[in-house]
């Protein structure tokens, strides 16, 4: 037994090292499928999500593109909804006609899924492609598949190596992003997944400013 113990310790150490080495790559899913609609989730840093969404639209992965944008916080006196709408208006008309803003006040991906459902309803899609940051893809796909099972989901990963790299141990920002995303993924899988959508919606409604009027996509 004494001789066997070191073998178990070494095996455990190797398994732990392998798990840590794959902790970054495990978060990433990049399997976009042709869809009726594309949803660019909020939280973009440096337009990486937006650019991947526009690329997906251009290459025919979807017919309509929804850009999630915060309709509460201000940036230089404007909401991100207003900024996004101005950006769309500057695009070629034939492209802009297929791009819509999805206003939201959500503070989490789970709450955002309910807002996306509202924006998707007028489009009546069957297949929907999520575009989000690469480290966020696994959790986002899991949330949307669980909360909105009426749609067939796939996901495209937007890369930004200043924010996240799969070899996260070589970069301080990547390490912080990886640790935070693993905490959020664990909380989703262990806690949030098992809560009823009605309860989650009630909590989000309680947090939403009562005076805020949220327009429909493209309004």
95-150 residue pLDDT tens: 999 999 999 999 999 999 999 999 999 999 999 999 999 999 999 999 999 999 99
Asked if pLDDT for residue 9 goes beyond 60, the answer is yes
- Please give the pLDDT value at position 73: 86
- Please give the pLDDT value at position 61: 97
**Are the CB atoms for 23 and 165 separated by under 8 Å?**
no
Taking only the tens place, the pLDDT of each residue in 29-74 is: 999 999 999 999 999 888 999 999 999 999 999 999 999 999 988 8
What structural domains does the chain harbor?
27-207 (3.40.50.620)
Residue with tokens 């009823």: 196
- Please give the pLDDT value at position 198: 61
Asked if pLDDT for residue 195 goes beyond 70, the answer is yes
pTM, to two decimals: 0.83
With a CB cutoff of 8 Å and minimum separation 6, the contacts of 89 are 96
- Please give the pLDDT value at position 45: 83
Q: What is the mean pLDDT of the chain?
A: 86
């Amino acid at each position: 037994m004494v001789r066997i113990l070191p073998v178990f310790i070494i095996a455990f150490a190797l398994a732990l090292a392998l798990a840590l080495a794959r902790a970054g790559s495990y978060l990433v899913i990049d399997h976009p499928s042709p869809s009726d609609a594309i949803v660019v989730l909020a939280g973009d840093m440096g337009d990486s999500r937006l650019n991947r969404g526009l690329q997906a639209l251009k290459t025919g992965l979807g017919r309509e593109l929804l850009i999630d944008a915060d309709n509460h916080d201000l940036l230089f006196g404007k909401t991100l909804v207003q900024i996004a709408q101005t950006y769309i208006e500057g695009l070629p008309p034939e492209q802009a006609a297929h791009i819509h803003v999805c206003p939201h006040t959500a503070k989490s991906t789970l709450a955002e899924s309910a807002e996306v459902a509202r924006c998707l309803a007028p489009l009546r899609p069957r297949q929907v492609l999520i575009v989000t940051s690469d480290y966020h893809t696994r959790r986002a796909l899991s949330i949307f598949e669980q909360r909105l099972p009426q749609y067939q989901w796939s996901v495209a990963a937007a890369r930004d190596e200043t924010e996240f790299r799969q070899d996260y141990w070589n970069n301080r920002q990547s390490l912080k992003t990886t640790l935070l995303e693993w905490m959020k993924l664990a909380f989703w899988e262990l806690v949030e997944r098992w809560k009823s959508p009605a309860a989650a919606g009630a909590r989000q409604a309680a947090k939403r400013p009562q005076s805020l009027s949220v327009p429909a996509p493209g309004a």
